[in-house]
Structures are given as C-alpha cells and as structure tokens.
Amino acid sequence: MKKLFYFVVVMILFSGCAAQKKVVSVGKEANEVVLKSGQTCEIEFITNASTGFWWQLINEDEIDIVESLDSRYTSDAPEGMVGASSTRYWKFKALQKGTQTLRFVYARESVKKPARTRDVIITVK
C-alpha cells in the first residue's frame, strides 16, 4: 500500500513539472521563440494605455502555426494613477510546424504611423 502511495505522489510531481514546461515566457526584449507543437508562449510588452497607445497584432489573419489564446494587462502602479506604464501579455499556442513572424505595432487607432513596432519570429518544431 505504501508503494502505491509513493508511486502516486511521484506521478503527481512529474505531471506538475511537465505542465510547467509547456508555457514559454518571451520577455519584452526577446524577438524569437522556438516551441513544440502544443506548447504555449506568453509574449510581454511594456505599454501605457492611459495615453491612448496600445499594442496590436496586425497580421493575425496570416498566422496559421500558432493560435492567439489570450491577452491581459497588469500594472504595479497605484489604482487611479494616470500615465503609469503597464505590462501586456499575449498568449499563443503552437499548432503546427513552421516559422512565421508575428507583427505588432504600438499605436493609437486614429494615428496611421505607429510609435513602435515589434516582430516576433515563432518557430514550431
């Protein structure tokens, strides 16, 4: 009975470790990521939504090796503080093998020229 208990505990620990390896973090300075099919990655952007600028994925219709799952904002600034930067995280899941470039722009909707651009090359093996 003890052997079965230890076996179950070890299996739970290994399954937890495997699940943690499935998300790859892509920092605000990195522009390339390699994933295995089924893995997810989260790309980090520094932003300031209070100025009317935000990051946008402009070629989503062209991308077929990854799927956009989620996008979220976080901020360490006190509530109600205007002008403080925040962090946007964009989560993608690898679907099939290949290499493609995700094109992001930091812009206001009414402005035609973006303030910044960022290309992230994704390779799924």
Cα separation of 30 and 44, whole Å? 9
One-letter identity of residue 81: M
Domains and CATH numbers, the chain: 23-124 (2.60.40.2020)
Cα separation of 41 and 22, whole Å? 8
Output the CA torsion 27→29→32→35 (10° steps): 0
Give me the residues paired with residue 116 across strands.
106
In the chain, the N- to C-terminal Cα span, in Å, equals 42
Span 61-103, pLDDT tens digits: 999 999 999 999 888 777 777 777 889 999 999 999 999 999 9
pTM: 0.74
